[in-house]
Structure 1
Amino acid sequence: MRKKQGILIISDGLGDRPVKALDGLTPLEYANTPNLDCLAREGSTGNVYPISPGVPVGTDVGHMEIFGCDSDKYYPGRGPLEALSGGIELEEGDVAFRGNFGTVDEESIVIDRRAGRIQEGTAELAKALSGMRLKEGTTVLVKELTGHRVAVVLRGKGLSASIVPTDVGTANEGAKLVIPHPEDPACKEASETAENLWEFTRNAMEILKDHPVNQERVRNGLLPANVILTRGPGQLNSIPSTAKKVGIRGLCIAGDITVGGIARLVGFDYYLQDSFTGGFTTDIMGKAKKAVESIEEGYDWVIVHVKGTDLAGHDNQPMEKVRIIEEIDVMVGYIMNHVEKDRCYIAFTADHSTPCEAKDHTGDGVPTIIWGQDVRRDKVEKAGETYFMEGALQNLKARDIFALQMDLMGFSKKRGA
């Protein structure tokens, strides 16, 4: 079979539920999306589940599945993925955490889990903490990621990831920091790891409190990033290369370095430049142009990731979500006009749903389209969760969509004679 190419556009957290302020429509249905409507009209559509109906997933699991990797077998925990995304080379026995720079008061009450969505100065804050030595010879590695996000690694002997870390969770802002503790009190390794994490947390609070970055933030009326909230502990497993398994050369274009790190883990290249952010604003057209250039350069599969729709969902900003969807639609139009329809497929999906009123990930299906000259068309005429209930891809899973793309592109291996 003649090999073809593909571009996959991921609108992080896109899926939503009817929003009263949008006349009972979802942000995707409310937005003006002539190009996504065209993809829907000329392709196959559906609401796709990241792993199964009603099961919410994180960005990490969602993207592993989109990239064709079985998270049930290979998911190492969010912490190792964050650490690897930040460039930390993990060693056997390391326990890694995903973290947030957050804000606590003098009583260790969590005021803001994201320190006002801090964007500047996180590298300096992380550097001030990385290399900290704890009891029993444990060392802490800290690396800033996108925005308020940070990776924390405990490196030492006899550590365990089976602990409950410090983060209070989205629904519990206003509560005290969680004191780390083992999932099983009888586990000596987990108990010692929890004690190490608590020692790091307290030491970090003392260092961050008087750090020049935070002093400047307070002077400017901003929340100080005076704590690191940790969650998602894990230890690294061996993750197979999707690229080698399927035989494709892939590239991920993303401002969110966690997504880029996951792409690297499964064997794809990762492209990032300063204007490609993981925030509400990013260089949408720059990503579109890079995607087209990469197809011209010979990449088989190019992934374009946009984070803003997820952030808008978490912050319950439906009109902001609409705005970002309309920007993505312009990007889609550019890509459609600059690829050969008979040689390149375009797919559009999300890693999970983040409904505005829920302000968190849910187990709803995510709007998905596959478009190309020889793609089987269904009868859907417009982009939107409600409309896609009538689509040909309805109720499939993320790895099904990956398999369909690879088959259309000519990379699937036949079973049997």
Structure 2
Amino acid sequence: MRKKQGILIVLDGLGDRPNPELGGKTPLESAATPNMDYLASKGMCGNTYPIAPGIRVGTDVGHLHLFGYDSSEIYSGRGPLEAYSAGMKMMPGDVAFRGNFATIDDDYTVIDRRAGRIRKGTKELAESLNGMILDDGTRVDVKELTEHRVAVVLHGEDLSDKVTCTDPGTAAEGSRLIVPSPLDDSRSAERTADNLWEFTQRSYNILCDHPVNKARNEEGLHSANTIITRGAGLDRYMPTLKDLYGLRAACVAGDATVGGIAELAGMDYFTDESFTGSFDTNLTGKALLTVRLVNEQNYDWVVLHVKATDLAGHDNIPIVKKEMIEKIDTAIGLILQKVDLNSCYITITADHSTPCEARDHTGDGVPTIIAGGDVRRDGVTSAGESQFMAGSLNNLTANDIFMIQMDLIGFTEKVGS
């Protein structure tokens, strides 16, 4: 087949539900999106699912499926993906966790799960815990990620990922940390649960007295005095997109977790200090870099990721989510000025829905567009969850959307002769 190029724009947590603050519309429906509307008119649209209708997924699983993988075959937990994203090496038997710097009180009650979305000082905080040796000789490695996020790896003998973690859950301020417990009857799970709780308690004592937190307290900011953990997992092999399809791919992102997943998939990861995982990310810079990777470096497939839409959903700020979508639409306009849809397809989708009022990921379908010069058109002319109900992509999955892209750009094999 002839080869073309493709751009996948992932608006993290884009999907939403009708919101009273927006007159009963979703943030996408209420936003002014002339460029997304144009792309909708140039292709196929629908509300698609990361795995299946009603199945909630995390950012990690959502992106694995967007990149064409089956999480049931390769996913063992968010922890290993975070560890890889942080540049940490795991050995067989190591157990990794994703974590947040968070704020708790003396009773281990959660005040803020993200320590005020701390940015500065996380490297110093992580270094103060990195290399901790627990009572049974297990070593704990800690490495900072984007903003409040952190990776934790336990290195030792006879460890297990079959444990509960300490995080009480999204929007769970006011709840106490969960004391880890084994999920099976093995001695290794019991030992790992004990190790995780020892690490949590010792970390609290160290972080409370850390100069970074003393300075934050003086400024009236939340102290990052603990690490709450979830997503325990062991390392597992993952073939690359180059291995599977012969695809030369790149990813532009400010979120280290997404970048790490992209690297595991064999993509070249491009980032910049101005590409944050928050509302102040440099959308213009991301868009222009995406164009260069397509036009000048001739990548077959380029992924552009934006995290801020997900943050707005988690924080229940629909107006901010709407405004962020409008800023993203402007950046998409820059791409349209410099990319020929006759030779480069553009897909817009999300890893999952994060409705503002839910403040968490849900199993709702995510708004999706596949546009290009020769893409079949289904008659939808504006972007929005309700508008896309009339589209041709409804009820497909993220894996389906991936394979459609691969077929369009010419990287699939014919079945049979």
TM-score normalised by the shorter chain: which range applies? over 0.9
Which residue in the other structure is 1:245 paired with? Answer: 244
Q: Distance in 1 between matches of 2:130 and 2:183?
A: 26
Structure 1 residue 133 corresponds to structure 2 residue 133: yes
Which residue in the other structure is 1:200 paired with? Answer: 199
- 2:217 counterpart letter in structure 1: V
Q: Distance in 2 between matches of 1:171 and 1:5?
A: 40
Which residue in the other structure is 2:280 paired with? Answer: 281
- 2:302 counterpart letter in structure 1: V
- Give the SS at the match of 1:135: coil
Which residue in the other structure is 1:300 paired with? Answer: 300
Which residue in the other structure is 1:7 paired with? Answer: 7
CA RMSD of aligned residues (A): 0.7
Q: Distance in 1 between matches of 2:15 and 2:341?
A: 27
Which residue in the other structure is 1:62 paired with? Answer: 62
- Report how far residue 172 of structure 1 moved: 2.9
Encode CA deviations 1:258-278: one digit per residue, 9 max, x unaligned. Answer: 000001111111011100010
- 1:380 counterpart letter in structure 2: V
- Give the SS at the match of 2:205: helix
Q: Distance in 2 between matches of 1:47 and 1:404?
A: 15
- Report how far residue 171 of structure 1 moved: 4.2
- Report how far residue 136 of structure 1 moved: 2.3
- Give the SS at the match of 2:333: helix
Q: Do the aligned partners of 1:69 and 1:266 also contact (CA within 8 Å) in 2?
A: no
Which residue in the other structure is 1:394 paired with? Answer: 394
Which residue in the other structure is 1:108 paired with? Answer: 108
Q: Do the aligned partners of 1:27 and 1:318 also contact (CA within 8 Å) in 2?
A: yes
- Report how far residue 8 of structure 1 moved: 0.7
Which residue in the other structure is 2:382 paired with? Answer: 382
> How do 1:12-91 residues align onto structure 2 when only pairs under 5 Å count?
12-91=12-91
- Report how far residue 126 of structure 1 moved: 0.1
- Report how far residue 207 of structure 1 moved: 0.5
- Give the SS at the match of 1:36: helix
Q: Distance in 2 between matches of 1:353 and 1:387?
A: 16
Q: Distance in 1 between matches of 2:358 and 2:242?
A: 35
- Report how far residue 332 of structure 1 moved: 1.0
Encode CA deviations 1:296-315: one digit per residue, 9 max, x unaligned. Answer: 21100000000000000000
Which residue in the other structure is 2:98 paired with? Answer: 98
Q: Distance in 1 between matches of 2:172 and 2:258?
A: 26
- Give the SS at the match of 1:381: coil
Q: Distance in 1 between matches of 2:172 and 2:367?
A: 30
Q: Distance in 2 between matches of 1:69 and 1:113?
A: 30
Q: Which moved more, 1:161-170 or 1:304-313?
A: 161-170
Q: Flag structure 2 segments of 5+ consecutive residues without an equivalent.
A: none
Q: Which moved more, 1:92-101 or 1:163-172?
A: 163-172
Runs of 4+ in 1 over 6 A off after TM superposition: none
- Give the SS at the match of 1:137: coil
Q: Distance in 2 between matches of 1:28 and 1:292?
A: 24
Which residue in the other structure is 2:411 paired with? Answer: 411
Which residue in the other structure is 1:159 paired with? Answer: 159
Q: Do the aligned partners of 1:43 and 1:375 also contact (CA within 8 Å) in 2?
A: yes
Q: Distance in 2 between matches of 1:171 and 1:311?
A: 12
Q: Distance in 2 between matches of 1:19 and 1:128?
A: 43
Q: Distance in 2 between matches of 1:320 and 1:281?
A: 12
- Give the SS at the match of 1:136: coil
Q: Distance in 2 between matches of 1:358 and 1:21?
A: 14
Q: Flag structure 1 segments of 5+ consecutive residues without an equivalent.
A: none
Q: Distance in 2 between matches of 1:410 and 1:175?
A: 51
Which residue in the other structure is 1:269 paired with? Answer: 268
Which residue in the other structure is 1:142 paired with? Answer: 142
Q: Distance in 2 between matches of 1:213 and 1:375?
A: 53
Q: Do the aligned partners of 2:171 and 2:359 also contact (CA within 8 Å) in 1?
A: no
Structure 1 residue 258 corresponds to structure 2 residue 257: yes
- Give the SS at the match of 2:40: helix
Q: Distance in 1 between matches of 2:241 and 2:389?
A: 30
Q: Distance in 2 between matches of 1:181 and 1:147?
A: 28
Which residue in the other structure is 2:181 paired with? Answer: 181
Encode CA deviations 1:33-85: one digit per residue, 9 max, x unaligned. Answer: 00000000111000010000001100000000000111111112000000100
Q: Distance in 2 between matches of 1:37 and 1:257?
A: 30
- Report how far residue 240 of structure 1 moved: 1.6
Q: Distance in 2 between matches of 1:288 and 1:349?
A: 16
Q: Distance in 1 between matches of 2:177 and 2:401?
A: 40
- 2:28 counterpart letter in structure 1: L
Q: Distance in 1 between matches of 2:52 and 2:242?
A: 24
Q: Distance in 2 between matches of 1:380 and 1:221?
A: 50
Q: Which moved more, 1:241-250 or 1:309-318?
A: 241-250
Encode CA deviations 1:152-207: one digit per residue, 9 max, x unaligned. Answer: 000000000000111111243212211111012x2100001111111111110110
Give percent identity, aligned residues only.
59
Q: Do the aligned partners of 1:69 and 1:242 also contact (CA within 8 Å) in 2?
A: no
Q: Distance in 2 between matches of 1:347 and 1:166?
A: 37
Encode CA deviations 1:82-127: one digit per residue, 9 max, x unaligned. Answer: 0100100111110000001001111111111111111111000000
Which residue in the other structure is 1:221 paired with? Answer: 220
- 2:232 counterpart letter in structure 1: P
- Give the SS at the match of 2:136: helix
Encode CA deviations 1:391-413: one digit per residue, 9 max, x unaligned. Answer: 01111000100000000001110
Q: Distance in 1 between matches of 2:172 and 2:35?
A: 40
Aligned residues: 416
Encode CA deviations 1:221-252: one digit per residue, 9 max, x unaligned. Answer: 00100000011100011112123201110000
- Report how far residue 137 of structure 1 moved: 1.7
- Give the SS at the match of 1:164: coil
- Give the SS at the match of 2:132: coil
Which residue in the other structure is 2:210 paired with? Answer: 211
- Give the SS at the match of 2:140: strand
- 1:341 counterpart letter in structure 2: L
Which residue in the other structure is 2:336 paired with? Answer: 336
- Give the SS at the match of 2:133: coil
